[in-house]
Amino acid sequence: MRNVLLAAFLLFCSLEGTEVSEKLQSIPPKDKEKIEFFFSYLVQRDNLGFVLFGNTKTAAFCSIPIVCNYALVPKLVTKTPLQYQKNLKQSWAVWARYRTRFKHPNIIVCEEHDRFNKSAFLQLIFIDKRKLAHLLEQYREDFEEVLGENFSSADFIAKIEKKRKLRPLINRDEKLLGLILGFGKESSTGFKNMQNEEAADPNFKMAGRRPKACCIVPVSFRGNPDSTEVKALVETYTKEILEIEDIFKSDSFLTDILEKFCSP
């Protein structure tokens, strides 16, 4: 019986991979290059790989400059940051034309817009539904504290799917956002307290490290590096980053990413 189930699973994965490959082959090469650039940015710079391939991080947050005349991307990434940002905006627009071809039932993509001075940004939040459901039960009391005692995990997820927004649905609470982004309870609580001008932990520092010669930006957040929770998160993310880098450097990167992105 186990062999039958395994064979069925492998067949399903094979068919799913074939479907993604065929869809990519139907896209003009120049557009496919733009889509790969977009997902490369999300994986290398904005932690999407941890959401798709890791076990802990529930969501990834990405900011795309729509109207912005100053450099946001470090010069270590590119010598022409403004052109890089323009390419990122164009790549998002190309992906937006084709995204309906790639259904992603387990990944919710929220789109929110922010303005700062004369600049405008598209904020994309990629959320793993299964991880979110688990996290909402794990930290139910924290969500009830902000959103009320009648808080329902199922209703909350349904609202996110319908509205394609996150921050308005958590009342823009920094603690809840930190939990969803995988920063842990202690660090998320401490950051919220600091934002509310309450006493901050004197050991509140940046946590998260990039292994030597690794090109993937690590999951980093402010927390107490001596905390048991912070140490455990950093250890987990440090192990996962090496696996993500292997996928990132693979010749089949785009296919691998979209297969995972579209998996049920």
pLDDT of 69 reads: 87
Q: What is the pLDDT of residues 214-248, one digit of tens each?
A: 999 999 999 999 999 999 999 999 999 999 999 99
DSSP for residue 27: S
Cβ atoms of 82 and 254 within 8 Å: the answer is no
Which parts of the chain are beta strand (E)?
Answer: 59-67, 107-116, 119-128, 205-207, 221-223
Taking the whole predicted model, whether its pTM rises above 0.95 is answered as: no
DSSP for residue 124: E
Which phi-psi region, left, alpha or beta, contains residue 80 (left: φ > 0; alpha: ψ -120 to 50)?
A: beta
Query: How many of the other CB atoms lie within 10 Å of CB of 7?
Result: 10
pLDDT of 3 reads: 47
For the chain, which residues make up each domain, given as ranges? 28-197
User: For residue 124, what are the β-bridge partners?
Assistant: 62, 111
What does DSSP say about strands 107-116 and 221-223: parallel, antiparallel, or unpaired? unpaired
The C-alpha R_g of the chain, in whole angstroms, comes to: 19
Please identify every stretch of the chain with a pLDDT value under 70, giving residue numbers as ranges: 1-18, 198-202
